Amino acid sequence: MADSTDHPGETLLETPLGALHRELGGRMVPFAGYAMPVQYPLGILGEHLHCRAAAGLFDVSHMGQAELVGANAAAALEALTPADVAGLKPMRQRYALLTTEAGGIFDDVMVANFGDRLFLVVNASRKHEDFARIEASLPPGVRLNRLPDRALLALQGPGAAAAIAPLAPALAAMKFMDVAQVTIAGAPCLVSRSGYTGEDGYEISVPADQAATLARALLALPGVAPVGLGARDSLRLEAGLCLYGNDIDETTSPVEAALVWSIGKRRRLEWNFPGAERVREELANGTQRLRVGIRPEGRQPARGHTAVHVPGGEQVGEITSGGFGPSLGGPMAMGYVARAHAADNSPLELMVRGKPLAARVAAMPFVANRYAR
């Protein structure tokens, strides 16, 4: 037995829910510079299954929040992303990639149009880099307001909408990727109907000083249990969703990452985003490698950085995220493989601790999405 979760000497930040996590018995671990609960006493497996059966409450306050204000905010953001921001309708949200000049992925973010401003949620591990990059590129008249005094909660699962309805009846009418400004348990919130689990649910931005009160009110709702980062990772992997730093980074392009759907149609005519040259070339001629889902045969998981080979032959790729899917009832992974081996059902071998493990390319999501479309 070896323990590998210690990072002694590191000074960790706390979210506004740090005390609540400890009160709930959360096992705190370092993540992106924060002390975060990897699990509560129910355990990763139980929390994962609970979220798919009822509703889970996640603290994702470590993520970066900001608003972009000014008449030309959408155009300013389009200078950094291939997403169609100008075409995003009021009170709607969209997934967007920030790209590098070389055509890599700088971060993946959520952009919401609240009418008078754009609201951004970015990865915790990238927020300082993202905000600096955005600020450095802004034209006069557009301002980035970082929102470090807001917490972010996610209520996810098939029971989420029914559970929260008594506290905020307006949320029931929202569709997947709608956003709204709603007062919940006395707190002024920015709500989106979205998440990172493949389930229906909401992400709720709340002032930090009201976050614990709101979290307690949500945990008191029938069927709602706290869920930690461990189950957040297994839920998102079952849903086929990328984790920045594992599955996408500055070396992977939107085309290789199979995230072309996040590029706006108009942007593919204009080709005026960072890295457009590489994206255009790859769309025309194909890429060397593609991000795919991979299912190992049997029960043995293959983790990130596992080498992917053709059966009995050469290496053709690498796993970027891998683990066990509690709802899938078996191991699952995603990773990059050479294009010739990227079709569904292509046979592969994963080299796990020096031994080949039979696997196949598999369609994602591994567990069907249940968004409120």
Partner 1 sequence: MAELKFSKDHEWVTMDGVVATIGITDHAQQALGDVVFVELPELGREVKAGEACAVVESVKAASDVYAPISGRVVEVNAALTDNPGTINSDPAGEGWFFRLEPSAPAELAELMDDAAYHRFVEESA
What residues line the site for partner 1 (CB under 8 A)? 1-4, 38-39, 43-46, 48, 230-231, 233-234, 299-301, 303, 323-324, 326, 331, 353
Nearer to partner 1, 268 or 303 (CB): 303
Nearer to partner 1, 34 or 324 (CB): 324
Cβ-based neighbours of 53, under 8 Å, separated by 6 or more: 157, 158, 159
Query: Token digits for 199?
Result: 């389930």
Q: Classify 75 as helix, strand or coil.
A: helix
Nearer to partner 1, 44 or 179 (CB): 44
Tell me the closest approach of the beta carbon of residue 44 to partner 1, in angstroms. Answer: 4
Rg (CA), the chain: 21
The stretches of the chain forming alpha helices (DSSP H) are 18-23, 44-53, 73-78, 127-137, 160-164, 208-219, 229-238, 267-270, 276-285
Nearer to partner 1, 45 or 310 (CB): 45
Tell me the closest approach of the beta carbon of residue 305 to partner 1, in angstroms. Answer: 12
Nearer to partner 1, 211 or 229 (CB): 229
Q: Classify 21 as helix, strand or coil.
A: helix
Tell me the closest approach of the beta carbon of residue 72 to partner 1, in angstroms. Answer: 45
Tell me the closest approach of the beta carbon of residue 27 to partner 1, in angstroms. Answer: 9
Q: Angle formed by the axes of helices 44-53 and 229-238, to 10°?
A: 60
Nearer to partner 1, 177 or 237 (CB): 237
Q: For residues 357 and 330, is the Cβ–Cβ distance under 8 A?
A: no
Q: Classify 73 as helix, strand or coil.
A: helix
The residue among 78, 85, 141 whose CA lies nearest residue 113 is: 85
Tell me the closest approach of the beta carbon of residue 282 to partner 1, in angstroms. Answer: 34
Tell me the closest approach of the beta carbon of residue 3 to partner 1, in angstroms. Answer: 6
